[in-house]
Structure 1
C-alpha cells in the first residue's frame, strides 16, 4: 500500500511541471502548480492557438480575468508566452475542492475574437496537518472494558488529495492503540481503542501524543496532546437527530439571524447525559461567518455573507456529553443570491481620437460588462446615450463593439461624451454608467472661405510705395495647420504689366500693399485674384477678386488748347466795329487731365486793355462784348485769361487773347505801311499782271480741279459749329466726354473760317463772320449747307467765281508775295 501511494504521488508531481494543453472550440486549458513565482512560464498560447507573434501585437492581445478576479496571468506579445502574474494559492482560491479552476479570457481585436482559458491550479504540499485543539481532554471510567472506543477529531490539512492527511500515529503507551477507518464520504474516523483496562488507583491521568501525517514529499505533520482522566463509567455517547443538517440563507442576512439548530440526545443521566456542541472541523472563513451556541446548538450569522465569495458552507458540529463521549454531524448552509452587485463596465481598446472621415461602422473600442450576481441578477443589457452617431454591437457574451453609425464632422461637433449604461435583470434592477470621452480628429476637408464674395479697394494716386491698399480675410474651420491660411496673388498681368509689379500681399495677414505709385491718368482701375490656401495635406484653396480703384488727385494743371500758347504763334482775332453788346467774339478752350471736380474748369479775365469792354463765360470760356463797340475803343485789345480747376488746392493756367477791332485789312497799320513800301514798284507789277492774266486763266482751271480734289481729303475741323479749331491745336490724347470732359459741345452762332497772315510775319488775323445777318441766340443750332463751304462744288457761275476769288485771296495772303496781291485785282476785273 505505501509503495502504491508513493508511485501515485510521484506521478502527480511529474504532471504538475508539464503543461496540459487542449483546445475546445478555440479554447485552451493549462495546468500549473500553485505558489509558482511571478514570471513562471505556463505555456505558449500563441503557438497553441496558431497565432504568430506579429498578429498578437497587431491585434492587441490581452488577458482579462473572468468574474472580477485578479489577473493571475500575463501574455508576452513578443513571444506569445503565458506567464504567472500573481502567486496563486489553491487553498485561498478553492479551499477543499478537489478541482481548482481559474477562468480567464484572451481578447483579440480587429476582428474581435475571444478565447476561453481554463487554468487548473494543482495542489502542492505547502500546508501541514492541524488539529482543531491543541489538547484533547477525555474522561474514561475505569470500568471501561478492553476494546472500548473513544472518538477523536481528525486533523485538518488545507491541501487535497495525496497532500492531505494520510496517516495517524499514536505515541506508544500501555493502555491505548489507534484505530483509523474511512467513511462513505471519504472522511476518516479516528478512534482511541482501550487495549488494557485502566486502574484509577494506579494512574488517574494519562497523556498521549497523536501525530497526523500527510502524503506529501517530504511529508508534513501535526500533533495534538490527548489528556485522559480516569473516571467512573459513561456508557452512552450523544446521538444527533439528523445525520446531515441543511439550511438555505439569503446572502444579505443580518448578523444574529438564526440559521439552523442542531440537536443531540444522550441516554445517560445526569452529567453523563448533558450534551454540549462545538465546531469540530471548520475553516477560518466559516468561523467568521457563523457562531454555534454550545448549549442550544443554534447556528447564527456572525459576519457578512457574500454569495459571490462562498455559496455553500459545509461544517461539522460535534456533540459531547459531560464525561467525554462525543459524536458529530454535518451542517450544510447554502446561500441564495441577492441582486446586490451593480454591473461593472470595462472599456477596452478605446481610441481617444477618431478621424472625421472615418466610414460608418468604424470600431472605436470594446465594452465589457460583468455582474457578479447569478441567474437573472447577473444578466446585463448595455445601451448608450441617444442622439450620438454611435451604437453598441453585441459581439461575444458580455462584450460589445462601439462603432460609428454616420460620418463625423469635426467642424460641427469636435468632441463627444458618450454615456454607456449597463443594467441587470434583477428586482430591483441595478445599473451603472460610464462616460466615454471621444475627440474627433481633424481632416483637411474645408477650403478657406473669404468673408466677402469680392473686395473693393480704393487708393489715391501718387501714393507712397508700400502703403496698404486693403485687407482680405479668409477663415478655415479646420484645426491647426489644416486651418492655417496663407495668402498669395494670382500670377497675371494688368495691361501688360505683371501684378507683382503693382501689388504685394502679406501671406500671413492678407494685407495688400502697393508696390509702386499709381497714376490715375494712366491706370484708373484693375482687378487681381487673391488665393487663400491652407497648410493641410493636400492643401485646399479658394480665390476672390479684388477690384482696385485709383482715386484721382488734382495733380494736373489745366492745358489751354486755344489760343495756342505763346511762342508757337501769336493768334489775333478780328472783331467788326459794328459788333453789338453780348456778341461772341472768341472762345478760350482748355482741358484738364484730371477727372471729376478736379477737372471742372472756370474762366476769368485777370487783365484787359479795356476792362469794361469784354467778358468771359465762367464755365464756357466764351468771350463776349459787354456793350457796343464805339469809335473811341482802341483797335488792339489784349485779354489775359486765367483757367482754374476745382481741385484742392486748385491749379491754374493763363493765356493771352489778342483782338483787333477793324472791318477790313486796309485799316490795319501794318498793311498801310506795306503798301507804301511797294508803291514805286506798282507800275511794273501791273504790267506783269496784265501779261500774265491770260496765262493765269488757263492754269486757274487746273488749280480749281486740284483744290476741289484736295478739299475732299481735307481733315475735318474739331467743331462743326461754334469756334472751329484746327486739329493741330488739340493734343492727340484728349477727347470730349459728355458731362465729364472739358471740351464743351455747345454750338455757337459764329464760325471762324479762315486764318490770314499779314506781311509782319508775327500776327494772324481771324475773321469772324456770322452765318446770318443777325446774331443767333446762344442756344440755337446752325446747320451748314453745301453752298457755305468755300471749297464746295461749283454748281453755277456765281459760286465758281466766289470759289476762285476765295482761293486767290487765300493763296496770295499766305504766299506773302506782292505780285499775288495785285493779281487779286486782275482776277476781280476778269470776273
Structure 2
C-alpha cells in the first residue's frame, strides 16, 4: 500500500515549499520506505515529517521500543522528537556542502526499533535555495582582438559558476552595451564552462585602441542574484585597412598646350594604418594602355599625374587611365581608380587671394561694421565667378562682398584689447572645379589700446596701524591698484588727495610713493594729540584722458607708555612745600588729604596706583591704591610726632611702568600756636639758606603789616564803615595744573571731577587755629594755591597776626 501526503511549510525566508511523502509498505515485511522533501538552510527544530504516524507506530510505545536514527553521514542533520514522534532538523543543512558534486541531493536515514526489531529506510531530499550568487573565476579578463578580425569571430570567456542547482543556477548573461561584441544567444548558458563573444562589428584601433566591457551573470532564482566581471579589450593593430581614393573615377580637363611636367591631377589615397601599413604608393595598373603611359607620368609617392609629352587635342581628345594604390605593409591589397582626362582648357590654377589694404592696428572702441581689410580673389579658370570665400567662425569679423571679386573684412561687434589683443584671420577661397581647389591666407590684425579702464584697488579700503613715537619715514602700509590697459594707459601713479588733519595739510603727516604705493609717515605721531585719521589715496593712469580711482586709508595710532604720571596735588614748585593740618582728635579712617595725579596716556598705560614709599610714622597713615586718598590707620595719640612727612609714589600700569613722586607734609595740631614749628619741616638741604629766608620774610611781613595798618585806619576814619576782609578765599586746584591737551579725564580714570581739594583763609576770629572743614560752599573765594609757604614765612607773621585764622578745606 502506498500513501502520499502533501504538506506546506515556510522556510526562514518565508518561502513556501511542498513536502511530498511517499510510503511504500510491502505486505508481510517489517521494512517500509519513506521519502521527505525539504529545502536547505532550515533552522534547527524545523519539522521534516510525522514519522511515527507515517510508519503507523504507537507514540506511547516509543520509549520502550528504543527508536533511533542511524546515518552514514558523520554529522547528524536530523533527530526524532520522542515526545511528538516527529522528525525534525537538528543541524543546518547546506546543500552545496552536503551534495557538492551531485545533481540531486538526498540524505538516507535508517529508523531502528526494538521489541520487535524493525528497520525502516527514510530518504530526505534536500531542495536547493537560491543562496549563492554567480561568481566568475576572475574579476577581470584581458581580451586581445585584432582589428582585422572578421565579423562573426568568436572569443571565449570563462563562465560564471553558481553553487546552486536547477533554476537557481546561472541562466543568462548580459554584456554592457557596445557596438562591437555581443553574446552568443543560440547556445544555452546554463552549465557552460565558457561563454562565446561574437564580433558583430570589427574594431578600429585607429579610432579607439582599447575598450572596457562589463559582463553580468544572472541566475534564475527568486530573488535573482548576479555576479559581474570586467573585460578589458585591447585592439591589436593589423594591416586591415586598404588605401582608399577620394573618388573612384576622376575626370580632369587638360589644356592641349599644357607644358611638360604640368600637373594633371594629384590623386589622394589615404590609409589609416600606422607606419608602413599606412604608407601609400601609386602606379599605373596593367589595364592602362601603353600610349597613355607615354603621355603621362605618375609620381609613386605623391600620386601626382603630370604631362609627359605634348598633348594634341586633334589626335586624342580624352584619355583613360587606371591607377592602383597599395600600402607597404605585408600582403598589400591594391585598390584602383579611373582617371578620365579630357583635353580642354581647364581650371588648373588655385584661387589667389590678394590683400589689397589692411587697417592695423584697429582701435578697440571702433564701432561694429568697421572695415579693417580689403581683399581680392582671382581665379584664371573659366569658372572665375564661382569662387567661394569664407572666414573662420571664431573671430568677430565677417566677409562682405564688394564690387567684382573684392571682399571687405568688417567687424561684427565691439573689440576688447584686454580680452584679445591680436587676431589671426584666416580667409579661404574655394573654386567650383573638380576636384575643387582652394587656398587660404592669414591676415594679422592688432587691436590698439584705449584708456577705457580706470585703476582698481585690490581692496575697498585699507587700514594702517602704527605705534606713537614712530620714526619719520617709517612705512605704514602699501596700496595696490591694477589697470588692465597697455603701456602708459596701464601705468599707475599714486598720490595723496588734498585734505587736512587737525587743521594741517595731510601731506605733513604721510606721503605715498608714486610708483609703488607705499605710504610713509612724514612725522612722528603722538597718541595723546592724534589717535586716528584718514587720508585719500588716488591711483591715476597715464592715459589721455587719464582715469583714476580713490581709496580711503585709515591710520590708527596705538598708545605707548611715554608719559609719566603728572601729580596735580600737591604740586611742587621751587622750594615751597605743601602742608596739611590734621586734628589731634582725628579717628582711624579719617580722610586727611588726597594725592591727585593724571597720566596723558590711555588704557592700561593710564591706570595709576598710589604707594607710600617713605613716612615718618609708617603705621599712622595709609593711602588708597587707586584713589590716592590719605587716611589715618588708627586714632592719633599724644605720642605721635606733630610733624609727619610722607613720600608718595604714583605708578602707571604701562610696560615698562613709569612713576612720579611727591612729598606730603602733615601737621598734627589743633591751634596756630604750634604753627611756627613748621620751620623745621623743610628739606635738609634748605637749612643752609634758612637765615636769608627769615630776614627776607621778616622785612616783607613788616612792610605788609604797616601797609595793612595804614589801610585799616584809612578805611575807618575816611569812609566810616566796617572793615572788609583782608583776604579770604578758598584755594582750589587751578586749571593751570592740568597738563596741556589733557582730555577725557574721567574716561582715563586718572582724575575724577567730583574731587576738589581747597584751602582758604578766613577773618573775624579771635584765635589762631587751623580749621579742618569738610564742606565747600559759595562763600569761599578761590585763591591760587593751597597753603604753600616757605619755612621762613611761618616765623614772625604767625606771632603777630592773632586776628587771622588759617584753615584748610578738604572738599570731596
**TM-score tier (shorter):** 0.3 to 0.5
Larger gyration radius, structure 1 or structure 2: 1
Structure with bigger helix share is 1
Structure-1-length-normalised TM-score: 0.47
Structure-2-length-normalised TM-score: 0.48
